[in-house]
């Protein structure tokens, strides 16, 4: 996620406020926030889910919808998301 520089503090505050709620979502087994070393307004969230169904249920939750509605206008560029599997 690439934020406008002036909106980074608002994003960090929102993440801090929502982190435990996300972690307590059914099926969430881990959540990390990563920041680019070279571009301090670029972040990645790295979450672990028991299965794709749990992730889908989270994406349909009020928590996700409310958080996304707040965070989306802060982006400098379109956000991207990937679902991946660990192979090693």
pLDDT digits (tens, 9 = 90+) for 30-72: 999 999 999 999 999 999 999 999 999 999 999 999 999 999 9
Specify the number of domains making up the chain: 1
Is 84 among the domain residues? Answer: no
Is 80 among the domain residues? Answer: no
Is 20 among the domain residues? Answer: yes
Phi, psi of 43, rounded to the nearest 5 degrees: -130, 155
Residue with tokens 């608002």: 10
- pLDDT at res. 85: 84
| CATH value at residue 66 | 3.30.70.100
Phi, psi of 55, rounded to the nearest 5 degrees: -65, -45
Alpha-carbon distance of 14 to 18, in angstroms, equals 6
To the nearest 10 degrees (0 to 180), the angle between helices 62-71 and 52-59 is 60
């Amino acid at each position: 996620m690439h934020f406008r520089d002036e909106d980074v503090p608002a994003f960090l505050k929102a993440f801090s406020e929502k982190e435990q709620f996300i972690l307590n979502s059914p099926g969430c087994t881990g959540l990390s926030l990563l920041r680019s070393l070279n571009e301090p307004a670029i972040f990645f969230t790295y979450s672990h889910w028991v299965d794709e169904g749990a992730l889908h249920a989270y994406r349909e939750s009020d928590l996700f919808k409310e958080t996304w509605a707040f965070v989306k206008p802060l982006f400098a560029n379109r956000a991207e998301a990937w679902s991946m599997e660990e192979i090693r």
